[in-house]
Amino acid sequence: SAKILDGKALAARLQTEMAEQVQTWIPQVGRPPGLAVLRVGEDPASAAYVRGKERACERVGMASFGQHFSAEAPPSQLLDTILRLNQDERVDGILVQLPLPPGWDPIPPLLAIEPDKDVDGLHPMNLGRLLRGEPGLQSCTPLGVMRLLQTEGIPLSGKQAVVVGRSILVGKPLSLMLLAADATVTLAHSRTPDLADVTRRADIVVMAVGKPNLLSADMVKPGAVVIDVGINRTLTPDGSSQLVGDVCYEEVKEVAAAITPVPGGVGPMTVTMLLHNTLESYRLRNRRGNGCSL
Ligand code: NAD
């Protein structure tokens, strides 16, 4: 039976380390790291994610500059706020929680964020840096997957990695990160004709689709590592709601060498990498700014 890759435990460990670093840096810099999470409208899932991010932020001693806008507000209000936060010395990270409500174009706010404060790594400048293999802020979920793989000592160089799902948030950036780690990468998606044929070749399979039970045991090479990014809310037979990933967890864990659970796998790593990015931005800003040794 597979080794369970405990993202929740690793996230807790990393957050404890970050909290200690923050405490040693505050006296040197004269302020805590600051994160602004901007939310528009009343989507309950977005509200829950933002609450989770703000709570994590406080836990590690960072300051929160979050704001909430009504779905009826003019989009210029969001843009003006971003421009103000770009100039605000207390703010190291800015993110706009997606998806935005219907009628809101996510591109203008993403372009407005100063790339060095773009802790979600979605600005074209940061995506370009990732494509070119240059340092820059990188998308949190793929970064969390990479950190989990690296911490668990899972070799990537020369391995066959298959990423299922080609979103700009997860699949595409993750395939570039795996490529940078010298894996041979296949990026599969909804038009891939025979998904099982592709996933069966993989030493590492990452599912980032949003469809429960898409990856069954017969689609996995024995001994492969399976990373489940999917988050799906489903109903149990007794009618209560539960979170599941994209993987038939019970059967795949009998075939795989290692597997992430849902919940408790990639999810907690995502929030942790948001804190990590904010801390990186804070360090870089203060290293440049006043020559102190962060
Ligand atoms: P998305 O909807 O933007 O992209 C889904 C991708 O899956 C698309 O590229 C599509 O081509 C592909 N796809 C759809 N049906 C398919 C099929 N039958 N076979 C193969 N590929 C198929 O989604 P996203 O934003 O990338 O998110 C994917 C999943 O990951 C969702 O469940 C989301 O909730 C979850 N997610 C989790 C975290 C986390 O922190 N754990 C973060 C972001 C997203």
Task: Report residue 227 CA to chain centroid gap.
Answer: 13
Annotation: binding site for NADP(+): 165-167, 231
pTM, to two decimals: 0.97
Ligand 1 test: best mutation among 167, 207, 215, 277, most atoms within 8 Å of CB?
A: 167
| Residue 194: predicted pLDDT | 98
Bridge-based pairing state of the strands 63-64 and 34-40:
parallel
* Phi-psi map region of 157: left, alpha, beta (phi>0 left; psi -120 to 50 alpha): beta
Averaged pLDDT of the chain: 96
Domains 30-113 and 140-266 are alike in CATH topology: yes
Atom of ligand 1 nearest to the CA of 209: 7
Cβ 64 vs Cβ 54: under 8 Å: yes
pLDDT digits 0-9 by tens, 78-122: 999 999 999 999 999 999 999 999 999 999 999 999 999 999 999
Domain ranges of the chain: 30-113, 140-266
Residues annotated as part of the active site: 53, 97, 120
pLDDT digits 0-9 by tens, 15-65: 999 999 999 999 999 999 999 999 999 999 999 999 999 999 999 999 999
* Phi-psi map region of 216: left, alpha, beta (phi>0 left; psi -120 to 50 alpha): beta
Pick 30-113's CATH classification: 3.30.470.30, 3.40.50.10860, 3.40.50.720, 2.40.160.20: 3.40.50.10860
Q: Which residues line ligand 1 at a C-beta cut-off of 6 Å? A: 141, 164-167, 169-171, 188-190, 192, 195, 208-211, 214, 229-232, 266-267, 270
Residue 275 sits at φ, ψ, to 5 deg, of -65, -40
Pick 140-266's CATH classification: 3.40.50.720, 2.40.40.20, 1.10.510.10, 3.30.559.10: 3.40.50.720
